[in-house]
Amino acid sequence: MMRKTIEGSFAVAEVVRDCVPDLVACFPITPSTHIAEELDRMYTDGQIKSYTAVESEFSAISMLVGGSAAGGRVFTTTDAQGLFLMHEVLFAASGMRLPMVIVNANRAVSAPLNIWNDQQDSISERDAGWIQIYCKNNQEAVDAVPQAFKISEDTLLPVMVCMDGFYLTHIVEQIDVPQKELIMKYLPAKRNAQYKLDTQNPISMGMYAMPKDYQGFRDDLHLDILKAKENVKKEMEAWGAVSGRRYGNGLWEEINAEDADILFVAMGSIIENAELAVDKMRAKGKKVGIVRIRCYRPFPAEVAKAFVGKKKIVVFEKALGFGASPPLYTDVSNAVREAGLKTKVYSIAGGLGGKDVTVEHIMEMLARVKKEKEPFQIVWGD
């Protein structure tokens, strides 16, 4: 145990360093800035091999593509407009099957300009072909980074670790930061790339695909992302064995769910507020529980097992699906339908652009869902 009092961002930077990246390239953007700054300082102090302060996020992700294609372990951090500037290359990275890790410090997107937390940024990249993992606290963020490298390198799929901006990145608290010795028991010290750019053994990557071939590549990518669910589960077990910490089965986590009538379903740091709300409501005899989606892509439709026999589910999310239902609600509803369940699914979007969602708010949400017979779709607090 190496519990210390440290800012979430700095703890993440320490773990990235101790995963021994070959290449780090960042363009700082609030609220991910402290991670980038700390890695920059570590490079200056000779603690990591490489750090490039690039001139844009487009360049950051492009450097990662090059570094990963050359067989390296590569990392960057960003959020919001920064992630969006990477948009085109995110698809190239997954299509070229290049392992890499982004820590995304979830932030609202423009316009209006807003630097505070929601999850519209990474949610809007859900179809980029990346694995996405949402952390509920800083402890999980530092535990997720080594897993992300391992999953990424084993599956040849890029991984995005999502941590809520400010709510996690800017909190100074006690974190058991995994030390290098521990990480090296879990993660190979060097990436072992089966295919890489090598002048002694030249290959081409990211080639042209004619209509007869293109669809097959895309379908393969889709099927492999679905298969990656097994890797996410396996690595939760493996990391748990090394660190002693596990977060559900890696794909989702059930908290007080078994005997609950109403389930609160969400992602990210709001989960721990929900835990406190559920504790308070259970003390008054209310049968409420939580199912946390940890892995958003690939989406674990098997989570429907946790919904069997439940009367109602309320999906809370910090993103909208403009012109349609909110994204997480849509996935959860689909899982319920595919499993043939009759559970009613309610939708609440909220916490957008840093609008605070408190323990009391979650208690009010659950009370309202209990009261209303027919499912609704609302934005909380407006």
Partner 1 sequence: MLEIRLHGRGGQGAVTGGELLSKSAGAEGKWSQAFPKFGVERRGAPVESYCRISDERVRLHQELYEPDVVVILDPSLMDTVDVLAGLKKGGIVLMNTKLGPTEACGKKGRCFKFHTVDATAVAMEKLGKPIVNTAMMGALVKVTGIVKLETLVKEVEEHFGEKLGKSNAEAVKACYAQVK
Distance CA(67)–CA(72), nearest Å, equals: 5
- Choose one: 84-92, 304-312, 340-348, 354-362; the region binding partner 1 (CB under 8 A): 354-362
Tell me the two tokens of residue 82.
């920064």
Contact between 269 and partner 1 per CB under 8 A: yes
Q: In the complex with partner 1, which residue's Cβ is closer, 80 or 98?
A: 80
Contacts of 81 (CB under 8 A, 6+ apart): 29, 57, 109, 110
- Choose one: 84-92, 95-103, 153-161, 265-273; the region binding partner 1 (CB under 8 A): 265-273
Rg (CA), the chain: 20
In whole angstroms, the minimum distance from the beta carbon of 271 to partner 1 comes to: 9
Given candidates 25, 168, 255, 366, which one binds partner 1 under the rule CB under 8 A? 168
Tell me the two tokens of residue 324.
């349609």
Separation in Å, CA 260 to CA 201, 288, 290, 345: 58, 5, 9, 15
Task: Outline where DSSP puts E strands in 43-96.
Answer: 52-53, 74-78
In whole angstroms, the minimum distance from the beta carbon of 354 to partner 1 comes to: 6
Half-sphere exposure of residue 160: CA atoms within 13 angstroms, side-chain side = 33
Contact between 3 and partner 1 per CB under 8 A: yes
Distance CA(36)–CA(34), nearest Å, equals: 5
Q: In the complex with partner 1, which residue's Cβ is closer, 96 or 357?
A: 357
Given candidates 18, 164, 253, 331, which one binds partner 1 under the rule CB under 8 A? 164
Contacts of 126 (CB under 8 A, 6+ apart): 132, 296, 297, 327
Contact between 270 and partner 1 per CB under 8 A: yes
Q: In the complex with partner 1, which residue's Cβ is closer, 132 or 139?
A: 139
In whole angstroms, the minimum distance from the beta carbon of 142 to partner 1 comes to: 15
Given candidates 32, 94, 273, 343, which one binds partner 1 under the rule CB under 8 A? 273
Residues between 112 and 141 with contacts to partner 1, criterion CB under 8 A? 115-117, 137
- Choose one: 90-98, 268-276, 312-320, 325-333; the region binding partner 1 (CB under 8 A): 268-276
Determine how many CB atoms are found less than 10 A away from the CB of residue 349. Answer: 24
Q: In the complex with partner 1, which residue's Cβ is closer, 172 or 308?
A: 172
Q: In the complex with partner 1, which residue's Cβ is closer, 217 or 380?
A: 380
Q: 264-292 burial, b for 16+ CB within 10 Å, e for fewer?
A: bbbbbbbbbbbbebbeebeeeebbbbbbb
Binding site for partner 1 (CB under 8 A): 3-5, 7, 31, 115-117, 137, 164, 166-168, 170-174, 269-270, 272-273, 275-276, 354, 356-359
